[in-house]
Structure 1
Amino acid sequence: MRLMGRVGRGLLWIILIVLTLLLAAVLWLRATSTPRTGGTVTLAGLSGPVTVTRDEWGVPHIRAQASDEDAVFALGFVHAQDRAWQMDFQRRVTQGRLSEVLGEAALSQDRFLRTWGFYRAAQSALPALSPRSRRMVRAYTAGVNAGLAQGKPAPEFRILGYTPEPWTDVDSIAWSKLMAYDLGGNWDEELLTARVVRRLGEAGLDAVLPPYPANAPTILSAEEVGQEGATPGGSGHAGATLPASTLAALQAHLDAARSLGMERVPGKGSNNWVIAGSRTATGKPILADDPHLALSSPMLWYLADLRGPALRVIGASIPGLPSIVIGRNDRVAWGVTNVNPDVQDLYVEPEGARLTSRTEVIKVKGGEDVRLTVRESRHGPVISEVGAGEAGPRVALKWTALAPGDTTLDAFLGLNYAQDWDDFRAALRAYVAPSQSFVYADVDGNTGYYAPGRIPVRGGWDGSRPVPGDGSREWRGFIPFEKLPHTYNPADGLVVTANNKVLPGGADRLANVRNWAEPYRAGRITDLLSAQSGGLTLADVQRVQLDTVSLVWQDLRPLLLATRPGSDLSARALELLRPWDGNQTVDSVPSTIFEAWLAELQKVAQDELGDETRLTSLAVRQQLREDGALCRDETARLGSCADALRASLNRAVDTLAARLGPDPDEWTYGRVHTVASNHSAFGKVGALAWLFNHSAPTPGGTNTVNVARPHPETLRQTHGPSYRHIIDLADMNRSVYVGSLGQSGSPFGNHVSDQQAKWASGEYLPMSTDEADWGRTRTLTLTPAP
């Protein structure tokens, strides 16, 4: 017994020593990576003093006296202080240089990124910017490098053992190219369309990719379209057939993009709306926005407030970009959602087509350099050779975001300065990609909408599938800015966008009929805002933005509840679903059953089209209503949709029982539906994931307004409202905003995740330029070097 006592005491001492060493390491890392937020720092590159006052949530309120460039310099400085790793990682993604620091595991991503040429496109964009934008970019670059020089490296740099290179002006444009990919293309749908036609014929398209419903809400009304004229475009879809080997080669690029979180998933889009004063309690507009993107650690957005002699703007910035992307100034507010027009086409180049080539050298940590030959046709990069060598036809990508002369940054900087609708439109003339639905409001009571960007005009074809590159299917320029969808002070006082179809009827030629998001979010927002004839308040708008009632459930309810259960557990699940109102809260058991069941139903086409194919909710509804052919599976002995309903419910409840236990009453939604804000590099590294990843139970589901589509395998939330704001034009400082995680990029920072709990529970921060609203503050003064 004495020996065991001595062993126990010895083990306790070892545990205490290990814990002490771990604590010391954590304290050291915190001390050496936490940025300076108080006192005075002297920096070269400033023309006058700047104060950076961080509020209670770490949001910097920047006040520059001498010039607006100084304010943007300070934005670059704080971005580097708080998000240096994020900025460097994003830059390496655009450059295709991940293998240099992550090793061979990142080779497929680098091949994809180098072949598409994102960074080359950014290099071509820089000379096209206006003189003001070039000045702002230079000031921002100087600020970033001043921040990097402070000697407080992010923990990721220490773990991976490298020092970030100095920032350059091109780096400030490059990330916008990745955002354009994430939000602005349909080449993946062209691949799916080609696969569907190859396997199921033309008739299979409507089953797998149903057209946008004729009676569903559109962003603009027929009256508003009538005022502005129809948008020119093409129709028809004669395409080229691709062999399986070429489809596999193209799939390699798609898989690489998805591994970087760059994928289009149902519910990845955005909501925004603007309400005229005729509908509000104050008589002034209210504008709301919540962009839906992949949720990450650190979060994409960085909240900031910039004030210079002329620049006076607050909202959400993106580290790496020298502007506020979404927000307001003292007179104008704006919000964005993805339009998702068709701005990409795959061209099957004919034999003998003229190609140029270049050699890309990819450095690999711990390995030999890899040489990659990239070919280009007159349409763009050839993207069909990865995984297929020289075999099969060469498929090239044409895309607006890869063309030279991209002046999108001019547009965002112009929005920061806009004082009225004319300034707003003038700024958006420079917008190229990714095309966004901009809603607008100003303090004078005006509201509006514009969908800017370079949108190709096609003649006789709709861009829905790969086409011959023989000259018969070429773009005929772009839709003129004046002909792009827009409205100013609409008569009904309301504009709602949720990635839904923009124009009614046959006038919409921005994309083909299968390109739009399902109409559930747009319909629910419109219904909630229209239910009250007038007197809408900020609190009313918050409730709409946070709404978690599922119209998908209401649509599918009678079809699902008609299922004949195949087990006692399935019967119990149906009993729990029967009285459910569709509100997807964290303590809801029916939410868990419904989403697990829907995930199984969305797999019904996998026996025909492969395991990566998942149907939309609309496609599931159509199959169930029509007893569609996709429900049938000879191997699984399913002869009808009734069979598929029974089998899918059995699989869903058996899976839930294995995960959550045999009692369905214990299957509360929050146990499985948790937000996964995971780190870009260490999110799946077991020894480090716990330190860098952040999670919390979340409400919402597939196509709810507060969108929180569960991952089809895990039911975790990986995409959603990455940022929210609601702007009150009657009193700008009553406006509110919130991010999905926190300001700091370091796991040891005070503000790494302090917004997450508010974001998950539906709370907001004050979007105020008044110091009285900032809570506890710390001020850092930046002074110019003599």
Structure 2
Amino acid sequence: MRLRPYAWMPWPFRWVARALTVVLVLALVLAGVLVYTVRRSFPQVDGAVRLPGLTGNVEIYRDKAGIPQIYADTAEDLFMAQGFVHAQDRFWEMDFRRHVTSGRLSELFGKATLDNDKAIRTMGWRKVAEQELPELGESTRRYLDAYAKGVNTWLQANPNASDRSLEYSVLKVQNGSYKPEPWTALDSVAWLKAMAWDLRSNMEDEIDRALALTKLPRARVEQLYPDYPYDSHMPIVTQGTIANDRFDQRDRLPARDTSMRGTTTDGTTPRGTTTDGTTPRGTTTDGTTPRGTTPRGTTPHGTTTRKTTPRGTTPQEATTPGQGAARALAQAAKALDAVPGTMSAADREGIGSNSWVVSGEHTASGKPLLANDPHLSAQMPSVWYQVGLHCRKITESCAYDVTGFSFSGVPGVIIGHNGKIAWGFTNLGPDVADLFLERVKGDMYLYKGESVKLETRREEIKVAGGATVTLNVRSTRHGPLINEVMGDVKPSDGANAVALQWTALTPGTTVDAIFALNSATDWQEFRAAAALFDVPAQNLVYADTEGHIGYQAPGRIPVRQKGDGTWPVPGWTGEYDWRTAPIPYDQLPSMEDPSDGYIVTANNAVIDPRQYRPLLTKDWAYGYRSQRIIDRLNQEIAKGKVDATTMSKIQQDTQNGLAKTLVPALMRVPLAGPAVQARQSLKDWDGSQGVDSAPAAYFNAVWRQLLKLTFDDDLPAGARPSGGDRWYEVIKRLLETPDDPYWDDTTTKGRTETRDDIVQQALASAYQEVSDRLGTDVTAWRWGDLHQLTLTNGSLGTSGIAPIEALFNRGPFEVPGSKDAPNATGWNAQRDYAVTSVPSMRMIIDLGDLDKSEWINLTGASGHAFHDNYWDQAPLWAKGQLLPMYSRPATVKKAAVHTLRLTP
């Protein structure tokens, strides 16, 4: 007898079982559909694919991490193949980014992104790119077109949403009519405007200063922006000045200024000095010009005269903004917040980088080592894409044999090495943007006593599921009125609008620089390429297989007629206008083969203003990361020769640079209650911030509470401390003045708090916060339980719909470090301990044997959720591990697990 299903069950439960079976079957069917939909978009990585437009066959080898190494006979074929590969792995990311840079996100997501689009359209990134493209070099334009052709060949072969990626299948539910347009060279150029925006300088600091001025006297605001500590934290360039209209590293500082060099924190000889009276390496004694003082093919961009007062360093006037100006500045701040971060977190917290290079005299191989780890937002997928681009035979017409990190959407390699040289970037952070307060009435604005008509243009923003929105963008001679993104100018006496002047709103040559860097073979060619890298201005470190190391500061950096760029300035007077020419490239700091045998950059000051006249900025990072790296290098060099393992250990250093100052102050104040045990954990703490560290958990909680208790009552929300190393310096100085007004809690009545009161409260509040989250057993606290990273998809990962976010986000991961440790995992003290910025990749190049180089990406090569290479590098990254960075044909082929041939 055949048993009927459910016959054994009592009848009331049979219908429940049947319903559960139906649900299970439906779930399995849906899972099967989902698996099919997901896998359908995975790229073909083996076999052969026809790519019309190629002139010859192209081979693409992928290792187990999915990293492609591309081999071709012509440069056009090489970049066409790169476009195809980028599209295979990352087309959704590319498509999303071009909607960001053109102010067209609302075409994808509807009115939810309208403010984002308004902000981008107001600045006009795409329009600047349109002006820039025809001015680029002829070969650059050919390569951009070839790249676009490769992208579009892939796009034509994948016409359906499910063919392209899971994101398109999800988007189809909301916006079923959307179909991506063909890729263009302009899309690639516009992306670099987003890079420039995310790596801009002190624009927010200008607004924060002005908004703080509405609540505090100027002197108290300036306490929050202390001078850079040149005597304890070394700048990048310690020798040289401008002589005969160019920067000359041979020129030493005048004797009266040598005290500024200071000493390193471990007692070793400071960088850039010699103790035996010998001539530093890289200088000459016969009066000849040292290598690299002028890049080949370039000429000085103007002349300057030596003056007793440093040019552009006039103290800037600041008056309390009137009601109209304060409102406009608040609107401008909201407009800046509305710009989507493509490389940075929304609040730009933790944006920075480390890079350093060590000459062969200190290395085990006898050749240089170069390390780089840019600190950007924690995105999924990572902003970087690892790739090798190889001409099978190096010729004048096919000069590329480069391996490194690229941006999907842009041909070439941004950071990496070729067969002769290696280079790395950190954000130089010069002041390249100013906010001008304007007096606007109707369609006119005031300038030098006359009414001038505003420039206007009309922008139409298409909105998915809604009506087209019209935006009227108005500009003065200084730039677009960015406050109008959030509302019209309100009539008022005095200033009532804010214009943005920014170097990236002028056409430039950065795209040309990428290809020039990729093919450079020596220091002169490298400097010539760097001369083209105008925005964003970066610290470039260099090493070559001949044994040379170097540093170059490039970029279009404005010269102001008056002021120092630290405050919004009146636009109507004309006094603060920029001069026509920027600082000439040949006058920007540069050095080759310094005497101490290494160069360190970590967003610290480039050069002391007492030796260098042009104003670069006053808003540097404060040198805690850079000085820690210098100190570690000095320690390691004293032990013996440095190798790649040493460089990696320094990248993983988690030392908190404030601990040695703040912990003694915490230990001095009277304390009672359960916080006493927590404070005791700091007594013998070495300042390291590993995931298992209980002292690190408590110290960072105290730091967060201390900042909030000290400053939140005094400052407007936008200017409150996030916890970076500027606040290290602020607190360090306040600790010496126990009765400073900042210590007083203005919300308490009839009582004036002092330093010790606030420190006591911070200790107690931190204990309460951590014990509420991790329990009362202090010994069981772990920094990794508080400090965690969730890899969040840059487009759909913050949709607010949990099932969709679960498809694309990954984590959390426990991570060590903190914002201003060399292992810079940033978090915002105003919110919590969640990681917002990270070393977005790590790279160590060995110029002694390039195949011994190593790298790691934050996530993986693929942009396809559920692909094996979507986030396979993330667990390795979190543990500080690196992958082999192969570049020679034999090792590339040996490591390959997939081979794809592209044919004409």
TM-score normalised by length of structure 1: 0.95
Which of these residues, 651, 660, 670, is aligned with residue 784 of structure 2? 670
What's the counterpart of residue 600 of structure 2? Answer: 496
Give 1:370 shift: 1.4
1:216-238 deviation line (CA, Å, top 9, x unaligned): 33344443347347985433212
Which of these residues, 476, 481, 487, is aligned with residue 382 of structure 1? 481
**Is residue 234–residue 459 contact of structure 1 (8 Å, CA) maintained in 2?**
no
**Is residue 212–residue 716 contact of structure 2 (8 Å, CA) maintained in 1?**
no
The correspondence of residues 379-778 of structure 1 with structure 2, limited to 5 A, is 379-391=478-490, 392=492, 393-404=496-507, 406-469=508-571, 470-476=573-579, 477-508=581-612, 514-531=618-635, 532-533=637-638, 534-565=640-671, 567-568=673-674, 570-603=675-708, 604-612=710-718, 613-614=720-721, 616-627=727-738, 628-636=740-748, 639-684=753-798, 685=800, 686-695=802-811, 696-712=813-829, 713-770=831-888, 771-772=890-891, 775-778=895-898
**Is residue 423–residue 543 contact of structure 2 (8 Å, CA) maintained in 1?**
yes
Give 1:566 shift: 5.6
Aligned length: 781
Aligned partners of 1:358, 1:629: CA distance in 2, in Å?
48
**Is residue 126–residue 170 contact of structure 1 (8 Å, CA) maintained in 2?**
yes
The alignment partner of 2:437 has SS state of strand
**Is residue 185–residue 340 contact of structure 1 (8 Å, CA) maintained in 2?**
yes
The correspondence of residues 193-204 of structure 1 with structure 2, limited to 5 A, is 193-204=209-220
The alignment partner of 2:218 has SS state of coil
1:369-426 deviation line (CA, Å, top 9, x unaligned): 211110011111111223342215222111110012x101111110000000011011
1:578-627 deviation line (CA, Å, top 9, x unaligned): 22211111111221112222122222222121233116222222223322
2:137 counterpart of 1:130: yes
The alignment partner of 1:609 has SS state of coil
Aligned partners of 1:241, 1:344: CA distance in 2, in Å?
21
**Is residue 122–residue 170 contact of structure 1 (8 Å, CA) maintained in 2?**
yes
Cα 1:675–1:355, aligned 2, differ >3 Å: closer, same or farther?
same
**Is residue 329–residue 498 contact of structure 2 (8 Å, CA) maintained in 1?**
no
Q: Which deviates further from its counterpart, 51-60 or 25-34? A: 25-34
Amino acid in structure 2 at the alignment position of 1:293 = L
The alignment partner of 1:556 has SS state of helix
What's the counterpart of residue 335 of structure 2? Answer: 253
**Is residue 530–residue 554 contact of structure 2 (8 Å, CA) maintained in 1?**
yes
Give 1:31 shift: 2.4
Which of these residues, 434, 452, 463, is aligned with residue 353 of structure 1? 452
Aligned partners of 2:759, 2:778: CA distance in 1, in Å?
19
What's the counterpart of residue 238 of structure 1? Answer: 317
Unpaired segments ≥5 residues, structure 1: none
2:114 counterpart of 1:25: no
2:210 counterpart of 1:210: no
The alignment partner of 1:724 has SS state of strand
**Is residue 451–residue 484 contact of structure 1 (8 Å, CA) maintained in 2?**
yes
The alignment partner of 1:704 has SS state of coil
Aligned partners of 1:458, 1:432: CA distance in 2, in Å?
18
Which of these residues, 51, 55, 62, is aligned with residue 59 of structure 2? 51
1:316-372 deviation line (CA, Å, top 9, x unaligned): 000111110000000000000000000111122343333111111112222222111
What's the counterpart of residue 259 of structure 2? Answer: none
**Is residue 228–residue 605 contact of structure 2 (8 Å, CA) maintained in 1?**
yes
Amino acid in structure 1 at the alignment position of 2:756 = A
Which of these residues, 89, 104, 129, is aligned with residue 97 of structure 1? 104
2:204 counterpart of 1:88: no
Cα 1:363–1:536, aligned 2, differ >3 Å: closer, same or farther?
same
**Is residue 103–residue 365 contact of structure 1 (8 Å, CA) maintained in 2?**
yes
Cα 1:591–1:131, aligned 2, differ >3 Å: closer, same or farther?
same
What's the counterpart of residue 287 of structure 2? Answer: none
What's the counterpart of residue 344 of structure 1? Answer: 433
Percent identity of equivalent pairs: 38
**Is residue 225–residue 503 contact of structure 1 (8 Å, CA) maintained in 2?**
no
Aligned partners of 1:225, 1:724: CA distance in 2, in Å?
32
Give 1:15 shift: 5.2
What's the counterpart of residue 423 of structure 2? Answer: 334
Cα 1:150–1:669, aligned 2, differ >3 Å: closer, same or farther?
farther
The alignment partner of 1:506 has SS state of coil
Q: Which deviates further from its counterpart, 180-189 or 676-685? A: 676-685
What's the counterpart of residue 299 of structure 1? Answer: 382
The correspondence of residues 368-379 of structure 1 with structure 2, limited to 5 A, is 368-379=467-478
Aligned partners of 2:27, 2:752: CA distance in 1, in Å?
57
Aligned partners of 2:624, 2:378: CA distance in 1, in Å?
22
1:620-648 deviation line (CA, Å, top 9, x unaligned): 22223322322211314661121212222
TM-score normalised by length of structure 2: 0.83
Which of these residues, 104, 114, 134, is aligned with residue 107 of structure 1? 114
Q: Which deviates further from its counterpart, 346-355 or 267-276? A: 346-355
**Is residue 274–residue 285 contact of structure 1 (8 Å, CA) maintained in 2?**
yes
Cα 1:465–1:12, aligned 2, differ >3 Å: closer, same or farther?
same
Cα 1:246–1:297, aligned 2, differ >3 Å: closer, same or farther?
same
1:152-206 deviation line (CA, Å, top 9, x unaligned): 2111111112322111111011111111111123221110111233322221133
2:169 counterpart of 1:158: yes
If you compute each CA radius of gyration, which structure gives the higher value, 1 or 2? 2
The alignment partner of 1:385 has SS state of helix
What's the counterpart of residue 779 of structure 1? Answer: 899
Unpaired segments ≥5 residues, structure 2: 1-8, 173-177, 243-247, 252-305, 394-398, 440-445
What's the counterpart of residue 283 of structure 2? Answer: none
Aligned partners of 2:351, 2:630: CA distance in 1, in Å?
19
Give 1:460 shift: 3.5
Cα 1:719–1:510, aligned 2, differ >3 Å: closer, same or farther?
farther
What's the counterpart of residue 223 of structure 1? Answer: 239
Aligned partners of 1:499, 1:85: CA distance in 2, in Å?
32
